[in-house]
Amino acid sequence: MIRVTVPATSANLGPGFDCIGMALDISNIIEVEEYGAGGLHIELLEGENSSIPMDDSNLIYRSMLSLFDTVGYRPKGIRIRQINNIPMAMGLGSSAACIAGGIVAANHIAGNPLTFQELIDLSSNLDGHPDNVLPALVGGIAVGCIQDKRVYYSKINAPKDMCLALITPKYKLLTVKARSVLPEKISLEDSVFNVSRASLLVASLLNGNIDNLSIAMDDRMHQPYRKGLIPGFDFIREKAIECGGKGSFLSGAGPIIIAMVHHKDKCTFEAKMQRWLLELEDSWTLRWANINDEGIKTTIY
């Protein structure tokens, strides 16, 4: 049996739409084994269970089948146990965790025919963009692009003294809906806006210029369109900076909004921000997370 611990991820980090993502210290655990008696057996040990398919439409299983098809392996049967700690449809990469976890587990079952790079390539092509599965696999903050089905990437060693305020409403938002409001084309001016912010973001993270983040995490490619689905979005981002956050952004497709906060400012940030959240509808809450620098972990039993 293989146990895969796969982290939640936050994609985009503002301007890095579909190319920059970060792993968090919230993880799903997936235990998988080949089952000699045949069939598919899926068990959910913990987590939201209402919308998790227990049949062959299960995303972990479908991702495993992609790997088996790629390498020509035919398992007798498969048993999957899931512990889901990553909330679904909140912008924390729960689908990407299923894809990356399923691919890594299937590779083990098939006798490790694919390299780690090939696992990144297959997972990213399945998800359609690398900004969730890539940091889930490699950890930290990672930048990647897909060319000819291969992912070219680089990992940034994330700043150690920053923590993440996950500002969370009560409702969910499906990625498909959050993508449906995006325009097909954006202007040259907005493209330059995003390229300059994304470049400044990467350079500032690499060099520790944390004071640049409030500007570097701005975006004109997705957040302005998605905020119509998230009442209070501008208010929360503005107050997050006013309360001492260094930068704030929509996590992936939302609806969670993340503020990057220096550890030393954590208590004051929380006290002030909680007061502002009370002014909003949708019962927004705040929980803390840290950046996960390790990425996916496997244990073989």
**In the complex, which residues of this chain contact ligand HSE (CB under 6 A)?**
11-12, 17-18, 129, 131-132, 175, 179, 222, 252-253
Residue-wise DSSP of 257-291: EEEEEEGGGHHHHHHHHHHHHTTSSS--EEEEE-B
Given a contact cutoff of 8 angstroms between Cβ atoms, the answer to whether 58 and 107 are in contact is no
Closer to ligand HSE by Cβ: residue 114 or 120: 120
Beta strand 39-46 with 77-83 is parallel
Closer to ligand HSE by Cβ: residue 17 or 269: 17
Given a contact cutoff of 8 angstroms between Cβ atoms, the answer to whether 184 and 102 are in contact is no
3-state helix vs strand vs coil in the chain, percent to 5 = 35, 25, 35
State the minimum distance, in angstroms, from the CB of residue 179 to ligand HSE. 5
State the minimum distance, in angstroms, from the CB of residue 184 to ligand HSE. 14
Spatial neighbors of 271 by CB under 8 A, at least 6 apart, are: none
Q: Is it true that the peptide bond before 255 is cis, omega within 30 degrees of 0?
A: yes
State the minimum distance, in angstroms, from the CB of residue 78 to ligand HSE. 26
Closer to ligand HSE by Cβ: residue 18 or 33: 18
Closer to ligand HSE by Cβ: residue 155 or 262: 155
Closer to ligand HSE by Cβ: residue 155 or 266: 155
Helical ranges in the chain per DSSP H: 59-71, 94-109, 116-127, 133-138, 175-180, 188-207, 213-216, 223-226, 233-242, 266-277
Closer to ligand HSE by Cβ: residue 96 or 277: 96
Closer to ligand HSE by Cβ: residue 27 or 124: 124
Between vectors from CA 141 to CA 46 and to CA 197, what angle results, nearest 5°? 125
* Selection from 258, 261, 189 nearest residue 230 by Cα: 258
> If you ran DSSP here, which 8-state letter would residue 156 be given?
E
State the minimum distance, in angstroms, from the CB of residue 3 to ligand HSE. 25
Distance CA 55, CA 42 (A): 7
Q: Would you say how long the chain is, in residues? A: 301
Closer to ligand HSE by Cβ: residue 84 or 175: 175
State the minimum distance, in angstroms, from the CB of residue 96 to ligand HSE. 7
Distance CA 84, CA 151 (A): 27
